[in-house]
Every structure is written in structure tokens, then in C-alpha cells.
Amino acid sequence: MSADLPGVLLVMTTLPNADTAARIARALVEGGHAACVSIGAPVRSVYVWQGALEDASEVPLAIKTTANAYDALEAALRALHPYELPEIIALPVTRGLPAYLQWVDAGCGGAGRSC
Amino acid sequence: MSADLPGVLLVMTTLPNADTAARIARALVEGGHAACVSIGAPVRSVYVWQGALEDASEVPLAIKTTANAYDALEAALRALHPYELPEIIALPVTRGLPAYLQWVDAGCGGAGRSC
Amino acid sequence: MSADLPGVLLVMTTLPNADTAARIARALVEGGHAACVSIGAPVRSVYVWQGALEDASEVPLAIKTTANAYDALEAALRALHPYELPEIIALPVTRGLPAYLQWVDAGCGGAGRSC
């Protein structure tokens, strides 16, 4: 990634239903924690919880934010999230359309070009 | 990643509808810009555009390409895309089934084993 | 990523149908190869195979595992997978909720906190 482009992250989490997902998506964008949040089609999550195999329907969020905004995003998402232990994972974006990366930066309070 | 494996990228973008998504997916594969493009189920994207909170239905693409092919992919996708400022982000694949990574490389004009 | 957090990976593959996807998701979690596997909504995959452009319906899996568990996961997935050449790609998680990352580690046989 060229040095003068912002470090963008794709953050992923899952919510129990579409209403909660939409409410949290709006809160993250309006709070300046993310430039864009995509609410995905429902998924089935298979995992072990307290010794039992679970197979739960969940709604995934794909959150476009920046490395600089990550700590505040994680804290806000943690506070908003209904789960005791939510999935919150961040993947690095190493290349991208420069104007879009700057737009994400601006959406998260960075110096990038806004729209 | 072992040094002799190609650098594969997962590139993500969103399109306004399934027809446009399918047309662009085929063009990227037939043009040798991607070995495989997965057209996902529709998502709802929440973001601010020109000061207003948007909540738009979009169709995501997950594009499997290589670092060597990225610049040409971005240019082709930019030219084909109907948006003024499309999401085009690339995530690094750091491990994977070697034969699959080589197949992706071959699909993007690299020296990897074809099928 | 702070040095004492486990290296978590998001591994992606696709399966021909939901039943096969669910069977493999359970086998990976019960086998200790993944802490959580999300079975996504069907996607359409466009790619060239033996010279012909294919447009196939597939079911994606998003597998949350660790770098330490990756080789065993790949071998297990390869053995379970019905395809001759399956997509198996791994993306690095560079930040995340520490308690969740440790839960993933514990689910894959690591020292992280279990639940």
C-alpha cells in the first residue's frame, strides 16, 4: 500500500437478527466509526459454546473503517452488541481504489477526501 | 506464505443489481483479470453520501486475483463500474491450498498451473 | 496485533450445496480445526474450467481458525471436500476483540481462554 493512503480495515461481526444488525450499522456510521457497513444475508454459524455444538442463524456485518478508528469502533461495537462474547475481527486492506480508501478515511474522521 | 507461491488477493466491490454484477463478473474472468468471481447474495449498505444517510441494496462481488494482476483489474473494474466512486478493496491471502493459488495465478495470466 | 494475541485466520472455501457445507462445517468444529464456521447464503461463482466459462451455484464457508491450526485444517478440509481442486484461501486477522481471538485459539486447541 502506498505510504500516503490511509490504512483501511474490513471488520466483521455477526448479530442475532436483521433489526439489531441495521440498528448497529446505522449507529456505527452516524457515530463516525465506519464509512460504510454492509448488512449481509443471514448465515448459519456452527460453533461450540459451553460444551454444546450450536448451529445458530446470524446476520453478518462487513464494516469498512480505518486502523486509526479501530479502537473506538471496537469499543462502540462492544457496547452496542447484545452478545456476551461477540465476534469482532479486522482484516487489513492492502490495496484499493485510492479515492475510495480516502473516502473511507474521511468517513471515519480522517483527512481523506469526503463526498 | 512460501516464497514460490503466487501472491493472491481477494478483491471486493459492490454493484447496484445482479445483472450488472453478473456482466462484470464474466468480463473480469474472460478478460484474464480474475480466476474466479463469486456473486454474493444481496446486502444492504449503510453509508453517508453527500451528507445523507443511505441504506441501499447492493450485490457484492468477491474477486480472486493476484497482486501482479491487480492494477489491470482495478482499471478494468473502474471502467466497467456504474458508480462514480465504487468500493474496490483488496485483502491479502497469506495461506492457501498451493494448487488452488497456482490455479488463480494461471487464470490471471501468471505461470501457475492451469486446469 | 499485540504479540501475546493468537494469530487468527479467516479461511474461505465453497461447497456445491448446503448439506455438504453443513456436514463439513460440523466436522471442522468437532475436529478442533475451527472455533466457528459460518455457512453463507448461496453465491454464483464465475470461472473458467477446462476452457469453458462456468457459472455455478455454491455455498461459501467462512472458517475462523488460527495460524497454528491451519495446516491440519487444510488437510482435513482437503480430505472432506468433494471438489478435485477446491478454493481454500486464508486471510490474516490483524486486530480483533482480544477475548474473541483467545476463544478462537481455545477452540482450535490453543491456550486461549475457552468458554
Q: Examine the pLDDT at C68 and tell me if it is beyond 70.
A: yes
In whole angstroms, give the CA distance from residue A89 to residue A12: 5
Q: What is the ipTM of this complex?
A: 0.94
Q: Examine the pLDDT at A64 and tell me if it is beyond 80.
A: yes
C10, C44, C57: best to mutate for the B interface, most B CBs within 10 A: C44
A49, A89, A95: best to mutate for the C interface, most C CBs within 10 A: A89
Beta-carbon separation of C97 and A74 below 8 A: yes
Model confidence band, residue B115 (pLDDT cutoffs 50, 70, 90): very low
Mean pLDDT of C80-87: 97
Q: Examine the pLDDT at B5 and tell me if it is beyond 90.
A: no
| Residue pLDDT, tens place only, B11-65 | 999 999 999 999 999 999 999 999 999 999 999 999 999 999 999 999 999 999 9
Beta-carbon separation of B40 and A41 below 8 A: yes
Q: Which residues of A touch B47 (CB under 8 A)?
A: 29, 35-37, 107
- Give how far B37 is from chain A: nearest CA, Å: 17
Percent of residues, chain C, with pLDDT higher than 90: 89
Q: Measuring CA to CA, how many Å separate B4 from each of B7, B39, B46, B111, B112?
A: 9, 30, 40, 11, 10
B 51-90: CB under 8 A from C: 62, 64
Beta-carbon separation of A53 and C97 below 8 A: no
Model confidence band, residue A1 (pLDDT cutoffs 50, 70, 90): low
CB-based contacts of A91, cutoff 8 Å, min separation 6: A9, A10, A11, A12, B91, C10, C91, C92, C93, C94
The CATH number assigned to the domain with range B8-107 reads: 3.30.70.120
According to the model, what pLDDT value does residue B104 have? 97
Q: Examine the pLDDT at B3 and tell me if it is beyond 80.
A: no
Beta-carbon separation of B29 and C12 below 8 A: no
Count of all residues that appear for chain A in the document: 115
Q: Measuring CA to CA, how many Å separate A18 from each of A50, A75, B82, C36?
A: 25, 21, 28, 20
What is the residue-averaged pLDDT of chain A?
A: 94
B91 contacts chain A (CB < 8 A):
yes
In whole angstroms, give the CA distance from residue A113 to residue A34: 15
Q: Examine the pLDDT at C113 and tell me if it is beyond 70.
A: no
Residue of A nearest to C95 (CA): A90
| Residue pLDDT, tens place only, B59-99 | 999 999 999 999 999 999 999 999 999 999 999 999 999 99
Q: State the helix-helix crossing angle for A18-30 and A70-80, rounded to 10 degrees.
A: 140
Q: Measuring CA to CA, how many Å separate B20 from each of B16, B25, B43, B88?
A: 7, 8, 15, 16
CATH of A8-106, one of 3.40.50.300, 3.20.20.20, 3.30.70.120, 3.40.50.2300: 3.30.70.120
According to the model, what pLDDT value does residue A115 have? 47
